[in-house]
Structure 1
């Protein structure tokens, strides 16, 4: 067993454990931190596959941007996680069935791909870690998928901002739309009305009369 194989098993074991802690941790902040650990282990596996660019992008984009945004959203929203996890174990049979199907499918793919097929790996597949080759693939062959992913991320950012902008009773805010549409006559309005209380001067004159 080579040193690269040992590193792969170490990264894979930590990745599986971190993924399990993501879905079993009761604290959402701790779950997000375990997800960051899982991303780092996946980046290490990418590095072992000589996909350096994908490894760095995984760390910069997901760990440095997406997970930071997710942590801010989790900490700013008051979520009752105990209430959400009340029926967690009731979904275990369905989750186990779906997970078993996925494991069987992945095992079938690996079993057909890795045993001695006698086919050599194409030389072009060794360029998966090169930035130029990856850029040509993304912006030519996979341009539509890349644009759809960008739109999905934009929608997620807008949704995160919308969730944090909730109204609070102890703060005062104005509606910018109403402030822009206001007219001059709406700012100041003079109302004429009859006096309901007599002037004190008239009362003083009646006392001085005798």
Structure 2
């Protein structure tokens, strides 16, 4: 067994452990940190497979941006996890059945990927520029339509998330620039005529502080 295989099994074991702890950790922050560990180990596995672009993308995008955002949201919201865990075992049989169905479907789909014929060789001119260029050529030629479908799905999901979270608060105060432009001087200043009043003189006080 060569060192690459040893590192692969080590990273795979840590990845499986971190993924298991993500769904079993009671603390939400701990679950997010275990997910960061899982992403790091997946990035190391891709590095062993000589997919440097995917490894660096996973480390920078998911670990460096997405997970940091998750941690900020989890810490700022202060979600009560005890209330979310109520009734967990009541819904566990249905959740286990759905999870088993999804796992079987994924196994059937992935099984076909192991029976592929020998992959065609890349153009030597492309390989000289690195696997990032080769990945880009494959995505934007052979897998262009699946890429467009994925982009449309992500766009629809982003618009739906914005629409679901958009709420008009009645207690918020904001300014309308259109009304500010249309304002007139007579609207800003109002003259009020009031009757004159005469101040009454106060009564003199004696030496003891009482009124005379």
> What stretches of structure 2 of length at least 5 have no aligned partner?
202-212
Matched, 1:192 2:190: no
Aligned length: 189
Matched, 1:136 2:137: yes
Post-superposition Cα deviations, 1:145-204, rounded to whole Å, max 9, x if no partner, equal 453366368559968xx69x998x9xxx741x3366232444443333446xx411xx45
Structure with the bigger percentage of helix: 1
Structure 2 residue matching 1:75: 3-state secondary structure? helix
Structure 2 residue matching 1:26: 3-state secondary structure? coil
Q: Within 5 Å, which residues of 2 pair with 1:2-81?
A: 2-81=2-81
Larger RCO, structure (CA 8 Å, separation 6 or more)? 1
Post-superposition Cα deviations, 1:96-124, rounded to whole Å, max 9, x if no partner, equal 2233234434445566665xx79534324
Q: Which of residues 151, 158, 161 is equivalent to 2:155?
A: 151
CA RMSD of aligned residues (A): 3.8
Matches of 1:144 and 1:118, distance apart in 2: 24
Structure 1 residue matching 2:136: 3-state secondary structure? helix
Could you tell me how far 1:60 is from its partner in structure 2?
0.6
Cα distance change, pair 118–40 in 1 and its aligned pair in 2 (3 A): closer
Matches of 2:104 and 2:147, distance apart in 1: 32
Matches of 2:168 and 2:8, distance apart in 1: 45
Q: Give me the TM-score of the superposition, normalised by structure 1.
A: 0.69
Matches of 1:85 and 1:69, distance apart in 2: 24
> What stretches of structure 1 of length at least 5 have no aligned partner?
205-210
Cα distance change, pair 194–152 in 1 and its aligned pair in 2 (3 A): same
Post-superposition Cα deviations, 1:44-72, rounded to whole Å, max 9, x if no partner, equal 12122221111110111111111111222
Cα distance change, pair 57–151 in 1 and its aligned pair in 2 (3 A): same
